[in-house]
Amino acid sequence: MSREEKYASKLDGSSSKARADSYGKRQKRNFAAALTDQVEAETFVKSIGVPALLRHYYCTFAKQTLAAIRLRPGGAALSDVTARAELWSGRGLDTAKLEAIMAHYGLTIAGFTLDFSLLDGDDLLV
């Protein structure tokens, strides 16, 4: 297609309409998926017994958790969500409920123990 033909088709509006239609279909599909995720998050937050006044904050954490999983797979998502859980916990939300939301999306904070057997007495700070 020559430059003149491309310019004429843009003036005609047929190519613009086709592009806008495909964008509109994609946008509707993405909105439907996001709406489904949001409704599912709100339903889960209600099911763990969050008071109505605090429900918005827990839903925000659930949406942040879902976004972190989508954007940063693996350990990066876990560290990001853990930091956000600490943030929301510092703001007064219940840690057990935040961990329940994390577990709902497949993220758990594994407990660990420190092994001091390889250190001698000089290595320990008192």
The span from the CA of 86 to the CA of 41, in Å, is 20
Whether 2 has a pLDDT exceeding 60, the answer reads: yes
Banded pLDDT at 118 (limits 50, 70, 90): low
Banded pLDDT at 122 (limits 50, 70, 90): low
Tens of pLDDT, residues 79-112: 899 999 999 999 999 999 999 999 999 888 754 4
Mean pLDDT of the chain: 82
- What is the structure's pLDDT at 113? 43
Return the CA Rg of the chain: 24
- The pLDDT tens digits for 36-82 are 989 999 999 999 999 999 999 999 999 999 999 989 877 788 889 99
Give pTM, 2 decimals: 0.67
| pLDDT of 8 above 80 | no
